[in-house]
Structure 1
Amino acid sequence: MITPKTAGEPGVTADARGFALRSPEGTAYRVDIDTDVLSPANPILADYFAGRRVLVFVGPTVDRLYGARLRAYLEARLARGSWSMHRIRSGERHKTLASVEEICATAKKHRLDRQGVMLAVGGGITADLVGFAAAMYARGIDYVKVNTTLVGQVDVGVGVKTGVNAYGSKNMLGAYHPAVGSLNDPGFLRSLPVREIRCGLGEIVKMAVIKDAALFGTLAAHPLLFQDTVSSRQREDYVLRTAMELMLVELCGNLRERSLARLVDFGHTFGPIIEVASGHRIAHGESVAIDMAISSHVARLLGILDVAECQRIVSLLCALGLPVFDPAICTLDLMRAALHSAWDRRGRRLHLVVPDRVGSAVFIDDLKDLPDDLLAAALDSLARDAVDRPMTGVAQ
């Protein structure tokens, strides 16, 4: 899938440890996959610090589950007095500019200099907060991510965007600031609640639908991946690496979104308003799933996607335990508002990503191509799906 590159040539290169990306504009970073990254015998994390001062930030859950191991690792691998560890608030309600300012204030208090490094250990929210703080502090310093959730490993952990919620909008403020390293240990996934695994699977479905029919087939055949003790580790490794690789390759040529038409925005047109309007009762991966289901039915009604392929996509989402509809949020008014918000945000072009078959997708660019009666019909179809299919509806 990845074309071999010569040294310094733009593109994505795979190796036994993970992936290296170099964008056409020169930005370069790594995404690593390793086991036991918090074992003192494993140097992969400490190698990124090279004697520099490090401020480590974790959320409450990660501190409870892994705090002792992380401190033991840092004590074993880094010089005494060269690091400190800090607990930050997590959850969407704390994904704010105020939280970023608190991280920067902590860095200032501990006299972190411009050669220092911030380390984020946690899920996507922790990575977003620390990444944005690193982009702002002293006009930009290095940071490293250790991604402990499935969403973090296949989505947030492979990109360069950081951000916080503001003015009633998802990720309204932020920066493009790549981490110098992004570490992904599948072992962290064993401690995740099922709902968080399903949210990560939603992001993997996104990549499968737009880019890779074989990955889609694997998910359909093994809907309990990462959720049971008999799942094949080899198969899970294939799914993780393939999802990461697909995302990296898709991002590489447009890392800072000079083009606003992006296939990886599948699931992210209706999704942000679904998530925010629910007061984050609907989690990010769930909002992506609902968006993909709506977009698939829109494509069906426009004659872009045939009925059988549409049903395959919706059926997979349901089989994975993801919602495809929420009656309180999936109203015509709100979904129309989502389209207008995307139209404004994307430079007066809709760039709605819809599948034309499993493994391929196209764009709908004009609002006039999505009249109210068509959008209402798509929502009606999904309302029926939510009644007729098992494992639908948002977890409370």
Structure 2
Amino acid sequence: MRKISQTFQVPFSYEVHFTRDLFAENNHLLKDLIGSARDQKTAKILVVVDEGVIAAHTQLITGITNYAHNGNLGIKLVCPPLVVPGGETVKNDNRHVKTILNAVNEFGLDRHAYLIAIGGGSVLDMAGFAATIAHRGIRHIRVPTTVLAQNDAGVGVKNGINQFGKKNFIGCFSPPFAVINDSAFLSTLEDRDWRCGITEAIKVALIKDRDFFKQIQQNTGTLLSRDASSMDLLIYQCAKLHLDHISRGGDPFEKGSSRPLDFGHWAAHKLEQLTDYRLRHGEAVAIGIALDSIYSQLIGLLSQAALHEILTLFKNLKFKLFVPELLADTGHKNPVMDGLNEFREHLGGKLTIMLLKDIGEGVEVNDIDYEQMQHAILELKKFDEETVPKC
């Protein structure tokens, strides 16, 4: 019997930049980023854009084209930007991945070329996956255009698409070359999407940083009134906590059973599926966090006072915390509970769910009491009904 053992490490590094009007003539951030790693005289660029972003920013295609055609930048746009659907639609149909792969092949992009994805988290997930499997990886730059993508989905290392009715069943871990948060894109978001990204900030605050949670509480009014400086601060703080966890948490590619940043997500992912994605991701996460917070209180981990703070913050931010699908019954058991097994299956290993010991202090458990969770659902329904404004 013989064997050869091998151990090696590969360092990963990338930066998250904060700017405004990325494709303005006097904004050289993108040029400088690409120039810092240029291996050839002119860098080939393939751009993928969320169609919803195009609708809201009608001059974007022209701006990208004019920016790339500035001969002093050393950038070659290989074709007009590819426009793809936004939201879960783009992850539910793998033909969009094939469209990108066809372009990579047709225009001769190699590992030193760049795919720039501009859009919400779903578009970034899909395009990042395509970039990672083309030539086993071409450089991809993410330009998130929603609050949720700028503070969470777009700054991490995950890419993927949906399959078999399950979120991110096909995917990979692949750090981007860079992330560029352009605050100008946020100005055209619907109020619904503006608020959705706040849930991921609440999530990371609840498990890691009580002071950040208090900051969100204090800024509730300005966040709802769409004050740009309050949102800029929230996005920066949330992105920093997210990146700190990836770099210092000891498991950036989730090889183990722990997944703290998915607090509230086992139910959220299932609710998205059960509502046929009527619920936006941030809305489903708000419900999932509220549900797991109530459960934490029912099993004696979290105080009633802390629970009240959490639920009140969500209601003050105008989130609806109950949908009928939470109590749907197929005759055997609540299908929402299937989300627990799907969550474990997606991660592998033993079931590990993040709950709360206090605001700013998460705790992991390895089993969920079905009856208590059903009780938590009923308590959430009761709270949501009691806090609906009376006509």
Bin of the TM-score, shorter chain as denominator length: 0.7 to 0.9
Partner residue in 2 for 1:12: none
Amino acid across the alignment from 1:148 = T
Partner residue in 1 for 2:317: 320
Which of these residues, 228, 239, 253, is aligned with residue 244 of structure 1?
A: 239
Partner residue in 2 for 1:89: 85
Identical aligned residues as a percent: 28
Q: Say whether the 8 Å CA contact 2:295–2:372 is kept in structure 1.
A: yes
Amino acid across the alignment from 2:14 = Y
* Cα distance in 2, alignment partners of residues 208 and 122 from structure 1: 25
* Cα distance in 2, alignment partners of residues 135 and 376 from structure 1: 40
Q: Which stretch of the first structure deviates more once superposed, 41-50 or 327-336?
A: 327-336
Give the deviation of 1:80 after TM superposition.
7.4
Q: How does 1:44-63 map to 2 (within 5 A)?
A: 44-50=29-35, 51-63=42-54
Partner residue in 2 for 1:209: 206
DSSP-derived class of the 1:155 partner: helix
* Cα distance in 1, alignment partners of residues 251 and 10 from structure 2: 9
Partner residue in 1 for 2:219: 222
Partner residue in 1 for 2:155: 158
How large is the Cα RMSD of the aligned pairs?
Answer: 2.0
Give the deviation of 1:99 after TM superposition.
1.4
Partner residue in 2 for 1:309: 306
**For the structure 1 residues 227 and 301, does the alpha-carbon distance in structure 2 shift closer, same or farther, using more than 3 Å as the test?**
closer
Q: How does 1:261-272 map to 2 (within 5 A)?
A: 261-272=258-269
Which of these residues, 360, 377, 383, is aligned with residue 385 of structure 1?
A: 383
Matched, 1:75 2:60: no
Which of these residues, 116, 121, 126, is aligned with residue 124 of structure 1?
A: 121
Give the deviation of 1:35 after TM superposition.
2.3
* Cα distance in 2, alignment partners of residues 232 and 131 from structure 1: 28
* Cα distance in 2, alignment partners of residues 132 and 232 from structure 1: 31
Amino acid across the alignment from 1:127 = L
DSSP-derived class of the 2:115 partner: strand
* Cα distance in 2, alignment partners of residues 80 and 303 from structure 1: 58
**For the structure 1 residues 136 and 44, does the alpha-carbon distance in structure 2 shift closer, same or farther, using more than 3 Å as the test?**
same
DSSP-derived class of the 2:245 partner: helix
Equivalent residue pairs, number:
364
* Cα distance in 2, alignment partners of residues 222 and 100 from structure 1: 39
* Cα distance in 2, alignment partners of residues 104 and 140 from structure 1: 11
Structure 1 gap ranges (5+): 1-23, 392-396
Give the deviation of 1:353 after TM superposition.
0.8
**For the structure 1 residues 80 and 116, does the alpha-carbon distance in structure 2 shift closer, same or farther, using more than 3 Å as the test?**
closer
* Cα distance in 2, alignment partners of residues 223 and 244 from structure 1: 19
Q: Say whether the 8 Å CA contact 1:147–1:184 is kept in structure 2.
A: yes
Amino acid across the alignment from 2:212 = L
Matched, 1:147 2:144: yes
**For the structure 1 residues 25 and 138, does the alpha-carbon distance in structure 2 shift closer, same or farther, using more than 3 Å as the test?**
closer
Partner residue in 2 for 1:19: none
Give the deviation of 1:213 after TM superposition.
1.3
Give the deviation of 1:79 after TM superposition.
4.9
Give the deviation of 1:371 after TM superposition.
2.8
Q: Say whether the 8 Å CA contact 2:90–2:123 is kept in structure 1.
A: no
- Please list the CA deviations of residues 118-167 of structure 1 after superposition, one character each: whole Å capped at 9, or x if unmatched: 01011111111110011011121101111111111011121010000001
Q: Which stretch of the first structure deviates more once superposed, 143-152 or 93-102?
A: 93-102
Q: Say whether the 8 Å CA contact 1:59–1:126 is kept in structure 2.
A: yes
Q: Say whether the 8 Å CA contact 1:103–1:133 is kept in structure 2.
A: yes
Structure 2 gap ranges (5+): 1-8, 36-41
DSSP-derived class of the 2:334 partner: helix
Partner residue in 1 for 2:286: 289
* Cα distance in 2, alignment partners of residues 150 and 347 from structure 1: 30
Q: Say whether the 8 Å CA contact 2:169–2:346 is kept in structure 1.
A: no
